[in-house]
Every structure is written in structure tokens, then in C-alpha cells.
Structure 1
Amino acid sequence: MRDHIPVVVQGSGRRARRAGLVGVLWAAAELTVTVGLVVLLLVVHQVWWTNRQAAAAAQDQVQALERAWGQDPASDPSDPSEAPGASAAPRAPDLSEPAASVPGPVAVPGPASGTAGPSRPAAAQRDRAYAVLRIPRLGLVVPIAQGIDKRAVLDKGYVGQYPGTAGPGERGNFALAGHRNTHGEPFRYINRLRAGDELIVEIRGSRFTYVVGRTLGETTERDTGVIAPVPRSVVKPDQGYAEPGSYITLTTCTPEYSSKYRLVVWGTLKSA
């Protein structure tokens, strides 16, 4: 009877280890692709879909305002008489609020210098659109709401008025904020505005035309001077105005897809 001699196959253990490594690498590659697709979908949703949603909703709001202005005042969604708690005092303006990463309010020294008149929207309900901004050079038509809260105003594709600033057509500074990227991005191209371009503000029964005078390409998020009653940068004191008047200020984040700095456009009320 022959002895049973075991046969040893050299290299089988090495092949098994190699196969295990290939399996791990393959699984890691699949996971990477899956995560990449998820991230891509999130980016598409944030950059493209939210833009479409917000821009469409903003245009619907513009049309609703225009319809309401042509009807009985009681049907106006911006009618101050319908606003609960409309007499509440506005909080201090915060130039940093359009950027979600910047916490804490920044108080502007001193209230707006204008005297409230028929155009004054101070009593309008916060977060509700009450006016329309038109910028012919950019083909922009966008609703204006009270306040600059991201979720309640800016993320809807609206332009928000800094609390405590002057109303449209008033003496002082009518200061506005808007997204430059995502959520309708109404202020994406305000860097293209030039001296002499018109900024038209419409409210019920009134139309105010401002003319772009100066721009500030970059300043800090806490440069509250740019939205003061007489707008003048406290970071770059040679930028801005020195005399009282009726001003409009547009602010947004810069550079694009960043909230590190602020881009500012100033205009003055055009005489009738």
C-alpha cells in the first residue's frame, strides 16, 4: 500500500491575498463613485434646482404684487394694515447676515435720516414682499421684502431691505441685500453695473428711479458704513459719500461662490 503524499501548490496563498486586495479596492472604488454621485446631485440641487425654484417663485411674487396694486388695497399682500405686529421696532441692520457662516448682529450707528412718508414700508410685515426692483441693464426684476433673513427672504430669491434703513424715495439710505449665487441669485451680475445705470424701485402708486454713482468692489462683511444714512465705507474711507441725500445701496457677497467679502453698488435718487 502506497503512502499518501500531500501535494503542496505553491503561490495559492499569495493569489488569495491578491484577490482579497482587489476586492477591497473594488469596493472602495464603488463607494467613492457612489459618494461622488451623491455630492454631484447635491451640488446640482443647490446650484441649479434651487435657482430655478427661487427665481420662478420670485417672478410669481412680482406678478402678484402688480396684480394687487391694480386692485383694491385690501387685497395687497404688502398692505401694512394686514401685518400682525407691524408696529414693532426694527432690529439693528446686520451687513453680515447674507453669509450664513457669519454669526452675530452688527448695529449701524444711528437710524435712517429720512422722515416716513407715503412710500415708507416700515410698517409692512417683515419677510413679505412690498416692492419691486428693476435693473434694466441686467434685465432684472425682483421683489423686495422687509428684512434680510436668509430662509425667510434671501433664499426665496427676494432682495431684502436692511432693517432700520430709509424707505424708497426717502432721504437717507435705502439699503438692500441679495444672493450672488444660488437661490435665484438676483445680485449675481451687479458687478457689471456702471455709473449712470438706472435702478428702479416700484411700490403701490409710486416709482423711484435711482442712478448708479459709485461701486466698491470689495470690503469686509462688517463694514457697516456702506449702509449708513450717508453711505461711506469705514474700511476704505475714500469710498462713499460725504453729504446727506437720498441713496440706494446694493450689497452681495464676493467673490462668487464665497461669502468672504462684500460687493457694494451705490446710487442716488434721480430728480423728477
Structure 2
Amino acid sequence: MTRARSRIAGAISVFGELLITAGVVLGLFVVYSLWWTNVLADREAARQGNEVRDGWKDRAVPPGIDTKDGIGFLHVPAMGNGEVLVKRGTDPEELNDGIAGYYTKPVKSALPWDAKGNFSLAAHRDGHGAKFHNIHKIETGDPIVFETRDTWYVYKVYKTLPKTSKYNVDVLDAVPKESGKKQPGRFITLTTCTPILTSDYRYIVWGELVREVKVDKDRTKPAELRP
């Protein structure tokens, strides 16, 4: 009986150690996913952003072109994460560099300088820079500003959709009717996964262009971005 109890106790001890080890491994994975990937992504995003700004100094490069190298920077004060480099494409690996991407499929995004359309963007909510982590803090009436070499595009949020199917591509339409719009305009749409730490659904924010501001020699920020 004593020997049997000893074996049982030994087995329980080994099992307990395995659980502890598994917990440590899981904890390290979470740290890697939610912290270290952010560190790496932020570094890479800063590097790429600096390259874009350096490129803007070359006046031989025409502004407002559709390029995978970065078309400008998104500023959303309500999210409190500074500027976000925007490039072409929304595949997850393309967003892992701590950037936002505009859609090329399943619904092709308009670009800010287009006369009409929906400038639709996606970014990670957790890990890899988590640029849209605080999307839930955006409220109706908040500003969204997109910065290009020559122009600040100032949008005003008019509706949010906290939860919709990941397969709902209608939110990206040129006229996003689900947002309440029925006529063509110049819209912006932000999309990301929800709830936090999952990819089960999508969180949507819609804004509409209210004005354009030409960039001056000092790159003075529009009022919406000043303290």
C-alpha cells in the first residue's frame, strides 16, 4: 500500500511539474506574441516611415502615387498611438511590420486624393505593433487625419460598428450603406479584429472627409492634431 501511494505521489509530482513547465512556456509565448512582436514591429515601422519621409524630400518623385512603399501616415488622436504608416495590402504578414494597409481585395480601396470612394484600412489589434488596439476608444465626431507629402486629409467619424462578421465586405463598399450613407462621397473606413485577442469578428469605424489642408514648409499640423 505504501509503495502504491509512493508511486501515485510521484506521478502527481511529475504531472504537477509538467503543468508548471507548460504554464511557463505558455506565458513566454504570450509575452512574445503581445509584447516582443510589438517591439520588433515598432522598430520596423519606424525604419520604413523614415524611408518614406526621406523619399518625400525628393521632389522628383510625384506625390499621390499608388505604391507598396507607403503612401502616407494615419493619425487618430483617440487611439493615442501616434502616426501609423499606411502601405498597400492587408494580408496579415504585410501588416506584421507595425503598419496599416489599404484593401486591394476583396473590395479595392479608393485613395484619399480620389474624387469619390472609400479609403478602407486594416491593421492588427494585438501583437505586431497593434496599431488599432484602441479602436474602441474612437467616438462619433472624433477626427481622423491622413498625411501625405503635400496634403493633410481631415475626416470626421460619423459612425462605428463594434461587431460584425469577418465575412462582411459590404463595410468596404464605395458607398458603405451599412454606415447610413446613400450617396457617393469621400469616406474612410478602419477595420480590425474583435474582441481583443481574437479574430472572430470585425470592428468598424467610418469617417467622412471634411476638408483638405495643404502642407506648408514647416509641415504644420492641422488643428485636430495639435495639443
Q: Say yes or no: TM over 0.5.
A: yes
2:205 aligned partner, one-letter code: V
Give yes or no for contact 1:147–1:162 (8 Å, CA) kept in 2: yes
Mapped partners of 2:101, 2:83: distance in 1: 14
1:254 aligned partner, one-letter code: T
C-alpha RMSD of the superposition = 1.8
Aligned to 2:121: 176
The gaps in structure 1 that reach 5 residues or longer are 1-13, 80-117, 234-238
Aligned to 2:75: 134
Q: Which has the higher helix share?
A: 2
Aligned to 1:199: 144
The gaps in structure 2 that reach 5 residues or longer are 213-227
What are the superposed Cα offsets for residues 192-236 of structure 1, whole Å, 9 maximum, x if unpaired? 112222211122323211111111121111211111000123xxx
Mapped partners of 2:101, 2:35: distance in 1: 22
Identify the match of residue 16 of structure 2 among 29, 41, 63.
Answer: 29
Mapped partners of 2:98, 2:124: distance in 1: 8
- Count of residue pairs brought into register by the alignment: 207
1:149 aligned partner, one-letter code: D
184-193 vs 51-60, which moves further: 51-60
Mapped partners of 1:62, 1:25: distance in 2: 54
Give yes or no for contact 1:226–1:240 (8 Å, CA) kept in 2: no
Give yes or no for contact 1:59–1:142 (8 Å, CA) kept in 2: no
Aligned to 1:145: 87
1:120, CA displacement in angstroms? 4.7
Calculate the TM-score normalised by the size of structure 1: 0.71
1:259 aligned partner, one-letter code: S
Mapped partners of 2:161, 2:65: distance in 1: 27
Calculate the TM-score normalised by the size of structure 2: 0.84
Q: Which has the higher strand share?
A: 2
Distance 1:120 1:174, change over 3 A: farther
1:56, CA displacement in angstroms? 2.7
SS in structure 2 at match of 1:247: strand
Give yes or no for contact 2:79–2:132 (8 Å, CA) kept in 1: no
1:73, CA displacement in angstroms? 4.3
Aligned to 2:3: 16
Bigger Rg, which one: 1
Give yes or no for contact 1:169–1:269 (8 Å, CA) kept in 2: no
Give yes or no for contact 1:55–1:184 (8 Å, CA) kept in 2: yes
Identify the match of residue 153 of structure 2 among 173, 183, 208.
Answer: 208
1:44 aligned partner, one-letter code: V
Identify the match of residue 186 of structure 2 among 246, 260, 265.
Answer: 246
Identify the match of residue 60 of structure 1 among 44, 47, 50.
Answer: 47
Mapped partners of 2:153, 2:124: distance in 1: 23
Alignment of 1:75-86 (within 5 A): none
Identify the match of residue 223 of structure 1 among 168, 182, 194.
Answer: 168
SS in structure 2 at match of 1:27: helix
What are the superposed Cα offsets for residues 120-176 of structure 1, whole Å, 9 maximum, x if unpaired? 51xx23xx323211112333311101010111x211111010012101132100000
List, as ranges, runs of 4+ consecutive aligned residues in structure 1 with deviation greater than 4 Å. Answer: none
Aligned to 1:189: 134
